[in-house]
Structure 1
Amino acid sequence: MADTGDGHEGRGRHETEDERADRMWSELIQEVRVAQTGVQILFGFLLTVAFTPHYQRLGVVDHTIYIVTVVLGATATGALIGPVSFHRIVAGRRIKPQSVRWASRLTFAGLVLLLATMASAVLLVLRVATHGAYVPYVVAGVAVWYLACWYGLPLWARTGHAKGD
């Protein structure tokens, strides 16, 4: 792309660093809202499981899977709520571009933890519901699907089709 004379050569938009940070922050927060809702509902549900009569009848392996799932859910929730707290604490400090980068990293970590939480929850539910030897394969398939939807397709689009297809 040619130099436009405004110092923004190579960019598709004509915006300052602060304008870009504002736009990216708004986009990130919209994305986080979707993920936060899902992780909070899942985490809330997980917290109630230990208080059900059926929980007491679970074996040691299923109790362990449950505990791991709750911890993963808690960490995913923390990471996905983190950008909001981060923004609130650093707002007005004139470091929005850096804030966007850190919030983006927290969001990415939260999504990875959410993927692990969901796979672990599916493992627990399918183990309890079916007791089938095929359960790990189903969970692996679900995890691969999440990886494909959440990371594979976006990375494919980013690397192979980002230049005006």
Structure 2
Amino acid sequence: MTTTLPAAGADWNLAERAETATQRLDRNWACLLQELRVVLTGVQLLTGFLLTLPFQQRFSELDGGLRWLYLATVGCSISATAMLTAPVALHRLVFRRHMLQWLVARSHHLTLVGLVLLGAAVSGVATMIFDVMAGGKAGAAAGAATMAAWLMLWVGLPLMARRGTRADVI
């Protein structure tokens, strides 16, 4: 596999950054890793917290609905952890194979899926905590508000910022 990128954006990157296609891939990979460093601590702490809950004394008091919500939430959190750590494993397995373009593209997609799963897990946690502490209506409101906030910040805001622009790669 080659690490060369399509011509779209290559001229701009060369003129503005004095950057070759391979250097751009290296920069994209470094940026992605930095973003993963930020999010991984949070998702790992969340997953660890969720995994300890069934061993708490009050967990047995949860009704069937909250138990299913717990299972869905912990499933999302574990899946998010898998998706957000996968780029490192991919890198190890394709190291020195000149597959940087493939690695950056696949890692980008895995990260997006991981972020969606993380948002779902955080919303599930908010729902569970508010439900246990203040009742089902408060739990539903907290879960919906959390989901609305992360959708607005993680999806809506970036999509609004992208309007009128186009990607520099195909």
- Above 0.5 in TM-score? yes
Determine the C-alpha separation between the residues in 1 that align with 2:124 and 2:34: 26
Gaps of 5+ in 1: 1-6
Taking the TM superposition and a 5 Å limit, the aligned residue runs for 1:13-162 are 13-160=17-164
Q: Which amino acid aligns with 2:72?
A: V
Determine the C-alpha separation between the residues in 1 that align with 2:98 and 2:45: 34
Deviation (angstroms), 1:161:
7.3
Deviation (angstroms), 1:160:
4.7
Deviation (angstroms), 1:134:
3.8
Q: Which amino acid aligns with 1:121?
A: V
Q: Which amino acid aligns with 1:154?
A: P
Gaps of 5+ in 2: 1-8
1:8 and 1:14 in contact (8 A); partners too: no
Among residues 11, 15, 24, which one is paired with 1:9 in the alignment?
11
Determine the C-alpha separation between the residues in 2 that align with 1:22 and 1:71: 33
Identity of aligned residues (%): 37
Determine the C-alpha separation between the residues in 1 that align with 2:68 and 2:86: 27
* Corresponding residue SS for 2:30: helix
Determine the C-alpha separation between the residues in 2 that align with 1:134 and 1:125: 9
Determine the C-alpha separation between the residues in 2 that align with 1:8 and 1:75: 35
* Corresponding residue SS for 1:50: helix
1:21 and 1:97 in contact (8 A); partners too: yes
Q: Which has the larger displacement, 146-155 or 76-85?
A: 146-155
Aligned pair count reads 156
Stretches of 4+ aligned residues off by more than 2 angstroms: 7-14
Q: Which amino acid aligns with 2:106?
A: W
Q: Which has the larger displacement, 132-141 or 104-113?
A: 132-141
1:17 and 1:97 in contact (8 A); partners too: no
Higher relative contact order (CA 8 A, sep 6+): 2
Deviation per residue, 1:108-128 (Å, 9 max, x gap): 000000000000111111111
Higher helix fraction (1 or 2): 2
Deviation (angstroms), 1:152:
1.3
Q: Which amino acid aligns with 1:34?
A: V
Change (3 A) 1:156 1:58: same
